[in-house]
Amino acid sequence: LNELDDAEIDVIDPSLPPLLRGHPDIHLRSGVIKASRLAAQSEHNAEKAFFVADLGQVYRQHQRWKRFLPGIEPFYAVKCNPDPFVLRLLAALGAGFDCASSGEISQVLQIGGVDPSKIIFANPCKATSFIRNAAKSGVDMMTFDNGDELYKIARVHPKARLVIRILTDDSKSLCRLGLKFGAPLVTVPGLLRKAKELGLNVVGVSFHVGSGCYDSNAFSDAIMRARSAFDMGKEAGYDFTVLDVGGGFEDGNFETNASVLSSAIDRYFPVRESIRIIAEPGRFYVSKAFRLAANIIARRAPMGDCSDQRSDVDSSQPTVMYYINDGVYGAFNCILFDHQVVHPYVLSMGGSFHLPSPVILRASSVWGPTCDSIDCVCPVTQLPAQLSVGDWLAFENMGAYTICAASQFNGFEISSVIYTDGGGSGSAEVRRALGRG
Ligand code: PLP
C-alpha cells in the first residue's frame, strides 16, 4: 500500500477544492499552486491528467448502504470500476462481488481473503470456459436467463447454484439492460422445468432495473415480479433462498430508492427468514469518489484580443475551443457509453487557484486530445475568457464506468489514479481496513 502512503497530503488550506485536497503533489501556499514533486519530473509527467480517488467516500457509501438497506448484502459490481484499492477496501469491509468474467473473478480472488461464496458470476450469457473456470475457483453462484446456458452449466459446472435473471421494467434508467438480458416472466416456468430436468440447482431470482435508475417504482415493480418468479420456483419443485435485487442505485436518490425497495420487500416477502437478499451496486459506491483533473494542452480562439466581446456574435455559441489531455476515448468514454453529461470547473489558472475578479465568462467547448472529431467532452460550457494553455480543469463524479472502459487510442495513456483517504470522516477506518492502522 505504498501508493496510499504516498497519498498522505500536506493540507495547508482546508478551503481547498476537494480535488486539490487529494493531490499529493500539490501544496498550496498563499493560494499559489506549487507542484513540488511534479516540478522535479518531466514536462510530460507534470501536465498528465490524473484522477484523485477518495477512498473515504467509498467507505461512507458503504456505511450509508448498511444504514438504509441493512438486510441487503452488497455484492459490488466490479465492472463499474475494478480499481484495486476500491476492491481491497470493499473486501476488507465484508462486501461481496458481482463479477462478469473470469478476469474479474481472478482479480477479486487475488485480493486474498475473499471467499468464493462472496462472488456471484452475474453474467447470464457466459463462455463455457468461463463457467469451467468458475467451477475450478469454487465460484458456484451464477445467473442465467436462457435454456442454452443451462445446458452449458449442466456440462461443466453441474453443482452450480443458479439464479434466474428475470426481465423487469428498465425504461426509467440511464442504461437499459433489459434489451440484452432477463427472462420474461412467461418463460420462467419453462426454464425452471428444463433446469429440473437437467438436475440443476436453482436457488433464487435476480433482476436489474437498469443502471442509473431514476424512478423508484421500478424497484417495487421488480420485487413484485420476483415474487411471482419465487412462486413459479415452488411449482417447479424448488425452494428459492436467494433474492438478488441487482444494481441501479444512484447517489442522489439512494434513500428514496432504498425506502421504496424495503417497503416492497416487506410487502411481497413478509416471511423471509430463509431468504438471503443480496444486491449488485456499482455506480452508487464509486461515482462520487473519483474526480479527474485535466490539463489544457491546446486552445483555438479567435486571433487577437481573446477577451474581446463583439456585439454581433451569438454569445451562447462557443467561440473558444479548449483541448484537454483526456477525452471520450479515455475517461470520458462515459459520455458515449454511459450517457453522461460532464461539467468542467476551473482548478487553476495562470498557476493560481484564485480566479481573477471579475471573471468574464465565455461560451466555450472542451475537446479530448485525439484526432477524432467525436472526441468532444463538452459541446458548450461557460469558462473564463482568461483560461489558456497550461491551466487545469476538473470534473466531479468520474468514478463509475470511466477508467474501466478507457482505451489508448491514438497512443494516449489512460489517466493514472492518486489515492487519498479523504482526510474526513471515515479516513481512519479506511486506513485500518487497508491495514495502514
Ligand atoms: N449487475 C449487473 C448484472 C450489471 O450489468 C450492472 C451494470 O451494468 C450492475 C450490476 C451495476 O449496476 P449499477 O452500476 O447501476 O449499480
Long-range contacts of 363-366 (CB under 8 A, 24+ apart): 363/315, 363/316, 363/317, 363/318, 363/319, 363/320, 364/318, 364/319, 364/320, 364/321, 364/322, 365/318, 365/320, 365/321, 365/322, 366/321, 366/322, 366/323, 366/324, 366/393
Q: Ligand 1 test: best mutation among 211, 219, 245, 404, most atoms within 8 Å of CB?
A: 211
Nearest 10 degrees: Cα torsion 57, 63, 64, 65: 110
- Which cell numbers in the block locate residue 433? 481496513
Tell how strand 96-99 and strand 119-121 pair up. Answer: parallel
Is 271 within 8 Å of 304 (Cβ atoms)? no
Q: Which three cell numbers stand for residue 60?
A: 461512507
- Whether 371 is a known active-site residue: answer yes
Contact 237, 196 (CB under 8 A): yes
Task: Pick from 167, 168, 208 the residue to mutate for probing ligand 1's pocket: most ligand atoms within 8 Å of its CB.
Answer: 208
Q: Which residues of the chain have pLDDT under 70?
A: 1-42, 44, 304-314, 437
Segment (H or E) for 104: helix 102-111
What pLDDT score was predicted for residue 27?
41
Per-residue pLDDT tens over the stretch 194-207: 999 999 999 999 99
Dihedral sign computed on CA atoms, order 23, 26, 29, 31: negative
C-alpha cell at 243: 433474492
Are β-strands 32-35 and 26-29 bridged in parallel, bridged antiparallel, or unpaired? antiparallel
Closest C-alpha to 260, from 172, 380, 332? 172
Q: Of 95, 155, 55, 428, whose CA–CA distance to 279 is shortest?
A: 95
Predicted confidence at residue 350, as pLDDT, reads 85
How many angstroms separate the alpha carbon of residue 34 from the centre of ligand 1? 40
Residues in the ligand 1 pocket, defined by CB under 6 Å: 77, 80, 98, 122, 177, 208, 211-212, 246-249, 280-284
pLDDT in tens, 142-153: 999 999 999 999
Question: How much is the ipTM here?
Answer: 0.99
Report cis status (omega within 30 of 0) of the bond before 84.
no
Q: What confidence tens digit (pLDDT) does each residue in 299-350 have?
A: 999 886 544 455 556 678 999 999 999 999 999 999 999 999 999 999 988 8
Of these residues, 99, 175, 306, 371, which one is catalytic? Answer: 371
The per-residue pLDDT for 385 is 92
Cα distances (angstroms) measured from residue 121 to each of 52, 130, 160, 372: 30, 10, 10, 36
pLDDT at 34: 39
Residue nearest to atom 9 of ligand 1 (CA): 247
